[in-house]
Copies of this chain bind each other. A is one copy, B any other.
Amino acid sequence: MDIKTLCLGILTSGEATGYDLKKRFEGTFSHFYTAGYGSIYPALADLAESEMVTCTEVTEQGKPAKKVYRITDKGTDSFKKSLGENDSPCHKLKSEFLAMMYFAQLMDPQQISGLLQHRLTHIESALEMLKTITAESSDEQQGPAFVRGFGETVLKAAHDYISAYKAEQDTTTSGHQAA
């Protein structure tokens, strides 16, 4: 599933501009996909060229001109088909955090503690964000709800594990060092 397909998917729930899509990617999607303007705009251009979406230029007063994209029937069919085809979807993590922790024995205790703390803070803000999104959208559909719940569950588990390890680590190395 490349960015192009994902943009098409988001457009199944309504028209949007490239800018709108970027904001969507910064929400729930940010936990399992990333996309910048450098990938979104070319993707939309491609989709328009292959008639998966239509593009309407809109000029509103007091606002910059924008291009509103709307999915076509062909686009909807194509997206549904791509949901069916992919029977072994990839799901992979790329973590510098874990890579570094793997070499914990080469770091000193306060370095490790800092690294763990950094990750905990990161997880906390991610959880906070998910909570905010949940509060905003009361009309939750099954898909987004599942994904959000998945994110929360996994983040909480990671948080618990890291904080437990950190507490233990900070205790055993205390006496001369503090986090």
Residues of A82-127 contacting chain B, CB below 8 A: 83-84, 86-107, 111, 114-115, 118-119, 122
Cα(A97)–Cα(B146), bound, Å:
11
Residues of B within 8 A of A144 (CB): 102
Cα(A165)–Cα(B156), bound, Å:
17
Q: A33-B94, A83-B103, A94-B32 are in contact. Are A153 and B147 (CB under 8 A)?
A: no
A contacts with B: majority SS:
helix
Residues of A15-46 contacting chain B, CB below 8 A: 28-29, 31-34
- Are B80 and A143 within 8 A (Cβ)? no
Q: A32-B93, A161-B149 are in contact. Are A114 and B101 (CB under 8 A)?
A: no
Copies held by the complex: 2
CB distance from A120 to the nearest CB of B (A): 12
Residues of B within 8 A of A149 (CB): 161, 165
CB distance from A84 to the nearest CB of B (A): 6
Q: A100-B1, A158-B150 are in contact. Are A142 and B89 (CB under 8 A)?
A: no
- Are A142 and B6 within 8 A (Cβ)? no
Cα(A105)–Cα(B13), bound, Å:
11
CB distance from A102 to the nearest CB of B (A): 5
- Are A12 and B150 within 8 A (Cβ)? no
- Contact pick for A154, options B29, B114, B147, B158, CB 8 Å: B158
